[in-house]
A and B are shown apart, each in its own frame.
Chain A
């Protein structure tokens, strides 16, 4: 009996994580603590960064067997062996199926559509141009990633960080990246959500550097009232136009517009309530923790992650700069009626980027109310980044 007891204890000890943990795993666990601190203490996008960081902790605990990247290798037919995942997968493998099968990001967009008011955009459709201009950050970052020697799929996944849209970045990277790439969806998600939280720090210096005091002080006219019928027609028109032009953007844009139509129709309040609360919260938890689980040591502790971090801030900066510069162009064309600061809101970090435009404008003219004007380009940026994502998915 004593021998059995001794063998059992020795077996448990050998199987325990303490015997199998290495220096890389310890470093990754410490990194997860940093991101948890940023999420909890500094409130950096906590709804996603906290589950992602905890997923990072779970996946780097040796022996837990919660996530197996080898199960998600694409076979010769271009598919994942879902049966293998369902049969042998751990908890996070099963949850990650929702990411790999592109379910979660469109469902999050459904909830976002329910929470978004497109009135400012409908009242001033020219805001779409500012949303488009800010997406230039995506494509110029693509060049930067290519110069650094990354593969086309890695370039596309890093570039989409410039869209400042977490679900879109996860959607594109989960579709493009292969297990042989040096970065993965978790890397992209970490960078995207960290930089989205840093928008109030990254944007103002760029906005002030590219504009004059006179331009920043422009007071824009009041937006016209938008009828309910227009608000109902808007999501239908956007879905048809974008899906016909870029079919691969249809899942994201379609779900975004479905959520908005449910809200604006006024006859589906229960569905709206579920989509923007329970459903979105459930999907956010599943998405966050499963994406965090992909951040194993070999994907973070390498030079590619450093490239992602550097290119991510470049993407945000170029996007902001392009939006502001296009805003300056509109200022000139309209003879001073458009405040260039609203161009920076074209990055689709809703509503953070619009608030930044308001704050910087108010520093020059405290009575200037730019928030609603900036919301137009801000929500246009969500549509623009989804279109850009569709383009990248079509080409790469």
Chain B
């Protein structure tokens, strides 16, 4: 009888623990998903406004220099510009960026950076 009571206590602990852990994380899923949807909607409306009125963004000059295909990836553009500037210093040549367009890949491919990161992350094995 005592052993049975002990096992009932054990099962009570197990079931309570599993239920509480799942409940807690399901609540977190709900909250994080709601926040994610709110911010996705905000990002979408921002992109729609940028597409509707590109002439208002005089500082970006996206239409004239062909940057519009990269849309709001200004950090990517800055990184590319910095890399090309460094190339110019190394070659003692001045390069001019005429356009930047995202590659239109029809199948998933991995950049050299991704391959390098993957190799570094899995190198202990």
Contact = CB atoms under 8 A, between A and B. Distances in A.
Interface stretch (B24-32, B50-58, B83-91, B94-102): B24-32
B29 A128 contact: yes
Interface in A358-378: 358-359, 362, 367, 369, 371
B63 interface: no
Contacts of B14: 139-140, 142-143
Interface centre among B16, B20, B108 (most CB of A within 10 A): B20
Contacts, number: 117
B97 to A, nearest CB: 24
22 contacts: A123-B36, A125-B33, A132-B25, A132-B26, A139-B17, A139-B18, A155-B10, A224-B36, A230-B39, A234-B35, A241-B24, A242-B28, A351-B121, A355-B122, A355-B125, A380-B25, A383-B28, A384-B21, A387-B21, A387-B24, A387-B25, A395-B16
A121 B33 CA distance: 10
A142 B18 CA distance: 12
A126 B32 CA distance: 10
A135 interface: yes
A395 B11 CA distance: 12
A21 interface: no
Given A132-B22, A142-B17, A241-B24, 20 more contacts: A125-B29, A125-B32, A128-B25, A128-B26, A143-B14, A226-B36, A229-B39, A230-B36, A237-B31, A237-B35, A238-B28, A245-B27, A246-B20, A351-B121, A358-B121, A358-B122, A371-B122, A387-B25, A391-B20, A391-B21
* Those 9 A-B pairs whose CB atoms lie nearest each other, nearest first: A128-B25, A125-B32, A139-B14, A132-B25, A125-B29, A146-B10, A391-B17, A139-B17, A245-B24
Interface string A132-150: 1001101110110010000
Most buried by A among B29, B118, B124: B29
Given A131-B25, A237-B31, A369-B114, A395 B17 contact: yes
Contacts of A152: 9, 13
Q: Is the interface of A mostly helix, strand, loop or mixed?
A: helix
Main secondary structure of the interface of B (DSSP, over half): helix
A227 interface: yes
A225 to B, nearest CB: 8
B69 interface: no
A129 interface: yes
Residue picked from B14, B21, B29, B118, most chain A C-beta under 10 Å: B21
Contacts of A136: 18
Nearest to B27: A241
A246 B28 contact: no
A219 interface: yes
Interface of A: 121-123, 125-126, 128-129, 131-132, 135-136, 138-140, 142-143, 146, 152, 155, 200, 219, 224, 226-227, 229-230, 233-234, 237-238, 241-242, 245-246, 351, 355, 358-359, 362, 367, 369, 371, 380, 383-384, 387-388, 391-392, 395-396
Given A237-B31, A359-B122, A246 B25 contact: no
Most A CB within 10 A of own CB, among B13, B23, B26: B13
B7 interface: yes
Nearest to B7: A146
A146 B6 contact: yes
Contacts of A121: 32
A241 B36 contact: no
Contacts of B35: 230, 233-234, 237
B74 interface: no
Contacts of B114: 369
Given A136-B18, A233-B35, A384-B25, A142 B13 contact: yes
B23 to A, nearest CB: 7
Given A128-B28, A242-B28, A224 B17 contact: no
Given A143-B14, A146-B10, A245 B121 contact: no
A125 B39 CA distance: 14
Contacts of B45: none
